[in-house]
């Protein structure tokens, strides 16, 4: 058990190291000189100034030294550097500022999706091929086929414009405007993101559950005279949720970097929109910082998922 | 069952003498893409209170489906059930699934074949033992735990308090089957189905589990149906035996009567296929030649006729009814029963004609070599 945890932790560190190398190497692959981003294109290039800037940003060092410095700052000082473009803006501050929006959206989307997907998937397996299963399956198919920005626009039109219940754009921070105002601005984008996830999750639960319901221990549980709902949720759900958890972990990570479009539709100050603007303005340190941050969260979430398996299936604990 | 006689007298004093379970002309068919599988095809039997019925047959004879049909545990959409099952005067087939849930566990319980797969791997043994106690008897968590620990002790699980918090994978197969038995006994059922309870276990453990079942049955005065493919298992442990073949009961008799005076050639073949301790070394295991019948298109006439050493032309065309033997309680379905003059004639005639099935049964040739169809080990 302890040995396994240690192993997982070692793997986590190794993966993070690989992530940092690859992300840093990305800088080299991008075309163009960072100097072009730092100095306005119109400025006459005084070689002395250029050299000074190169030294200031450490661009004159060789790649290994630059990587070492960057990693050092990142790990020891949680400093991912200072943006070339918006001079003086620290990458870390920008991430800190933007992360709550994106993380909250991703989390809410996953929670909303699970809230609906689990009962729907369980019902679908229990009532396999009956009318209610057919109906929910068709509904999930529709939810899966609608791109989330279309869902976002439709939701915005219905709840913000037609019914005038919620704001169509913008973001209220919990710390400033309070929880209720925050929920009002977050519920539509989160729901738009949740639809696809819900469809994926419910299909997974349904198919795994159908397999589980064939197991002998389900027959024994039923033969004890337990109510069907008890058998479904207390006996069948847990063994049926291993692949669900894997996908929830992967998709949560994907949502962190993948809310760009939704953030644009609802004009939200999230990580995705920052990443988008950083890419278009060649703000390499910013891109690097955000990428390495998302990757780190992703790796950590997936390690947590691995640990969650152990909670769910006691047989894994032994090995 | 050493105390069966004593129990029977106690029974007649306290309870009505009518059987606890009466099954009449029960049919369970499965609709499949290939056709209708007649897994149970007109079974009639009854079990008196406190008695044990052994249901014996090869794989595919319908014995497991029969026990699940009686308990109404066959719920797949393609099942068709006809006939009647009367338990304690109530018609079970007329009950709704909701009503059956009040019978499962409390009135009837089942011990399944494979203890490795019939416990939920992700749920602690303790909860699997207490959940239905709490549901049916409405007792507190603490009381249910006490009951469960007591049950674990009664099925002779060492350190029951510690085992209560184990997961199934932390236990051996024999221990898991003890747990399954304890689960089945937890709400004090009047009727216990044991569906091949020892098939998946080591031989030494088999014996312990069978003894445990027998003892619990006596202690709790339960009625039991024990399903097995092994005549040896039911020999000393049942009051009556029903031999099933192709979804039908082909012979039924009090256990002693059956072993002393079996009439059906299939029963004889099952018994012959058990190796005997005083056989000389390297005696070939006697197999029942041929394969179990196709349940979608069963052979015409007697279903056992293609494999039967006694079979005569009549057997291939006319289905023998389950008729009474001279001894009370003994029934069989055969035109040329074992031990009768007709049977003797049929055997001699087949032997003379060198019918391979008869030659094999007489030990004159090896069944596996003689029958191109390929032999299946019986029993």
Cβ-based burial of A40 (10 A; exposed 0-12, middle 13-18, buried ≥19): exposed
pLDDT for the residue numbered A67: 85
The span from the CA of B379 to the CA of B377, in Å, is 7
Residue B224 φ/ψ, nearest 5 degrees? -135, 140
Q: What sign for the dihedral angle of Cα A50, A56, A57, A58?
A: positive
Secondary structure of A147-201 in HEC code, one letter for each residue: CHHHHHHHHHHHHHHHCCCCCCCCCCCHHHHCHHHHHHHHHHHHHHHHHHHHHHH
Distance CA B238, CA B42 (A): 23
CB interface of B with A, residues 211-240, below 8 Å = none
A223·B109 Cβ contact <8 A: yes
C-alpha to C-alpha distance for B150 and B165, rounded to whole angstroms: 14
Please determine, for residue B29, whether its predicted confidence score (pLDDT) is greater than 80: yes
Of these ranges, A89-98, B41-50, B266-275, the one predicted with the greatest mean pLDDT is B41-50
Q: Distance of CA B272 to CAs A3, A306, B259, B284, Å? A: 56, 55, 12, 11
Whether B194 contacts chain A with CB within 8 A: no
Contact residues, chain A, for B121 at CB < 8 Å: 217, 239, 313-315
Verify whether the Cβ–Cβ distance A220 to B122 is below 8 Å: no
Quick one: which H or E segment has residue B84? strand B79-87
Chain B residues in contact with A214 by the CB 8 A cut-off are none
pLDDT for B1 equals 40
Of A223, A235, A312, the CB nearest to B110: A223
**Are B180 and A215 within 8 A, CB to CB?**
no
Minimum distance, in Å, between the CA of residue B209 and any CA atom of chain A:
18
Interface probe, candidates A126, A217, A224, A233, chain B, greatest B C-beta count within 10 A = A224
Question: Is B43 near chain A, with CB under 8 Å?
Answer: no
Q: How far is A235 from chain B (nearest CA, A)?
A: 7
The answer to whether the beta carbons of residues B362 and B265 sit under 8 Å apart is no
The stretches of A30-147 forming alpha helices (DSSP H) are 34-38, 47-56, 63-77, 91-126, 131-145
CB distance from B135 to chain A under 8 Å? Answer: yes
Q: Which residue of A has its CA nearest to B68?
A: A223
Q: What would the mean pLDDT of B273-299 be, rounded to a whole number?
A: 79
Q: What is the pLDDT, as a whole number, of residue A280?
A: 83
Q: Which residues contact A15 (CB under 8 A, 6 or more apart)?
A: A299
B205-216 burial by CB neighbour count: b if 16+ within 10 A, else e?
bbebbbebbbeb
Report the CATH fold assignment for B1-107+191-260: Rossmann fold (3.40.50)
Q: Is B79 on the interface with A (CB under 8 A)?
A: no
Q: Do B122 and A318 touch (CB under 8 A)?
A: no
- Partner A contacted by B138 (CB < 8 A): no
Burial environment of residue B49 by CB neighbours within 10 A (0 to 12, 13 to 18, 19 or more):
buried
| pLDDT single digits (tens) B169-227 | 999 999 999 999 999 999 999 999 999 998 888 888 888 899 999 999 999 999 999 99
Does the distance separating the beta carbons of A313 and B169 come in below 8 Å?
no
For every one of its 319 residues, what pLDDT tens digit does chain A have, with 9 covering 90 and above? 788 788 888 988 999 899 889 888 877 776 666 676 667 666 667 778 778 877 777 777 777 888 888 888 888 878 887 777 776 788 888 888 889 999 999 999 999 999 999 999 999 999 998 999 999 999 999 999 999 889 999 999 999 889 988 888 888 888 888 899 999 999 999 999 999 999 999 999 999 999 999 999 999 999 999 999 999 999 999 999 989 999 999 899 888 877 888 998 898 999 988 888 888 887 888 888 888 888 888 888 888 888 888 888 888 776 5
Domain coordinates in residue numbering, chain A: 2-91, 92-318
Q: Does B137 touch chain A (CB under 8 A)?
A: no
Intervals of CATH 3.40.50.300 along chain B? 1-107+191-260
* Closest in A217, A222, A318 to B73, CB measured: A222
Q: How far is CA B280 from CA B24, B203, B269, B277, B364, in A?
A: 45, 22, 19, 8, 16
Q: How far is B108 from chain A (nearest CA, A)?
A: 9
Indicate yes or no: CB of A225 within 8 angstroms of CB of B114. Answer: no
Mean pLDDT for all residues in chain B: 87
Q: CA nearest A223 in B: which residue?
A: B104
Nearest CA in chain B to A242: B122
* Shortest CA gap B47–chain A (Å): 20
pLDDT tens digits for range B239-262: 999 999 999 999 999 999 999 999
Q: Which residues of A touch B122 (CB under 8 A)?
A: 238-239, 312-315
Do the Cβ atoms of B110 and A216 come within 8 Å? no
Torsion over CA: A123, A129, A131, A133 (sign): positive
Does the pLDDT of residue B379 top 50, yes or no? Answer: no
A45 DSSP 8-state letter: -
The interface pTM score, or ipTM, of the predicted complex is: 0.84
Percent of chain B with pLDDT over 90: 66
Total H helices, total E strands in chain B? 15, 12
Nearest CB neighbour to B119, from listed A217, A222, A230: A217
Q: Which residues of B touch A239 (CB under 8 A)?
A: 120-122
- What is the CATH code of the structural domain delimited by A92-318? 1.10.3720.10
Q: Cβ separation of A217 and B135 shorter than 8 Å?
A: no
> Distances from the Cα of B94 to the Cαs of A39, B43, B89, B107, in angstroms?
87, 18, 12, 16
């Amino acid at each position: 058990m302890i040995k396994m945890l240690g192993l997982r932790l070692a793997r986590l560190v190794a993966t993070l190291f690989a992530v940092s190398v690859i992300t840093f190497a990305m800088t080299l692959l991008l075309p163009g000189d960072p100097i072009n981003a730092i100095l306005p294109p119109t400025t006459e290039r005084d070689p002395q100034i250029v050299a000074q800037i190169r030294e200031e940003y450490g661009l004159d060092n060789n790649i290994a030294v630059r990587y070492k410095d960057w990693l050092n700052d990142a790990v020891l000082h949680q400093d991912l550097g200072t943006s070339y473009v918006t001079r003086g803006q620290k990458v870390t501050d920008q991430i800190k500022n933007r992360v709550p929006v994106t993380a909250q959206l991703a989390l809410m989307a996953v929670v909303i999706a699970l809230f609906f997907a689990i009962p729907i998937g369980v019902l679908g397996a229990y009532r396999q091929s009956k009318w209610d299963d057919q109906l929910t399956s068709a509904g999930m198919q529709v939810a899966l086929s609608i791109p989330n920005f279309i869902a976002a626009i439709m939701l915005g039109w219905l709840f913000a414009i037609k019914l005038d219940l919620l704001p169509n754009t913008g973001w209220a921070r919990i710390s400033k405007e309070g929880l209720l105002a925050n929920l009002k601005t977050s519920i539509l984008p989160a729901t738009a993101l949740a639809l696809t996830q819900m469809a994926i999750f419910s299909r997974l639960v349904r198919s795994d559950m159908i397999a589980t319901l064939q197991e002998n221990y389900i027959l024994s549980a039923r033969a004890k005279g337990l109510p069907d709902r008890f058998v479904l949720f207390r006996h069948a759900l847990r063994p049926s949720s291993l692949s669900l958890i894997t996908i929830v972990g992967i998709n949560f990570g994907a949502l962190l970097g993948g809310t760009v479009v939704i953030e644009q539709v609802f004009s939200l100050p999230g990580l995705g929109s920052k990443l988008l603007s950083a890419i278009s303005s060649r703000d390499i340190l910013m891109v690097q910082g955000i990428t390495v941050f998302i990757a780190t969260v992703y790796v950590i979430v997936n390690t947590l998922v691995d640990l969650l398996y152990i909670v769910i299936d006691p047989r894994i604990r032994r090995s | 069952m050493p105390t069966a006689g004593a129990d029977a007298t106690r029974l007649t004093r306290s309870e009505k003498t009518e059987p606890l379970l009466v099954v009449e002309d029960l049919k369970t068919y499965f609709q499949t893409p290939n056709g209708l599988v007649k897994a149970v095809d007109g079974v009639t039997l009854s079990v008196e209170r406190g008695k044990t019925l052994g249901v014996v047959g090869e794989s595919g004879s319908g014995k497991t489906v029969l026990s699940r049909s009686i308990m109404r545990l066959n719920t797949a959409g393609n099942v068709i059930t006809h006939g009647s099952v009367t338990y304690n005067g109530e018609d079970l087939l007329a009950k709704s699934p909701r009503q059956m849930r009040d019978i499962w566990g409390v009135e009837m319980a089942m011990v399944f074949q494979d203890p490795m797969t019939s416990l939920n791997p992700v749920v602690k043994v303790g909860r699997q033992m207490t959940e239905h106690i709490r549901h049916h008897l409405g007792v507190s968590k603490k009381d249910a735990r006490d009951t469960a620990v007591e049950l674990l002790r009664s099925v002779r699980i060492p350190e029951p308090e510690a085992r209560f918090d184990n997961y199934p994978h932390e236990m051996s197969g024999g221990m898991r089957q003890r747990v399954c038995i304890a689960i089945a006994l937890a709400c004090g059922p009047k009727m216990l189905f044991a569906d091949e309870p020892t098939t998946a276990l080591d031989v030494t453990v088999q014996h312990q589990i069978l003894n445990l079942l027998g003892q619990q049955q006596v202690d709790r005065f339960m009625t039991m149906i024990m399903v097995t493919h092994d005549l040896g298992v039911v020999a000393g442990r049942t009051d009556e035996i029903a031999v099933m073949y192709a979804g039908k009961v082909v012979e039924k008799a009090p256990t002693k009567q059956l072993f002393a005076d079996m009439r059906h050639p299939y029963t004889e073949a099952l018994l012959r296929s058990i190796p005997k301790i005083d056989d000389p070394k390297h005696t070939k295991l006697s197999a029942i030649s041929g394969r179990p019948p196709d349940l979608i298109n069963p052979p015409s006439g007697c279903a056992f006729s293609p494999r039967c050493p006694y079979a005569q032309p009549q057997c291939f065309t006319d289905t023998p009814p389950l008729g009474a033997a001279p001894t009370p309680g003994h029934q069989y379905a055969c035109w040329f029963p074992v031990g009768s003059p007709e049977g003797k004639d049929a055997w001699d005639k087949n032997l003379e004609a060198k019918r391979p099935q008869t030659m094999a049964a007489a030990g004159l040739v090896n069944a596996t070599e003689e029958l191109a169809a390929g032999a299946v080990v019986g029993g």
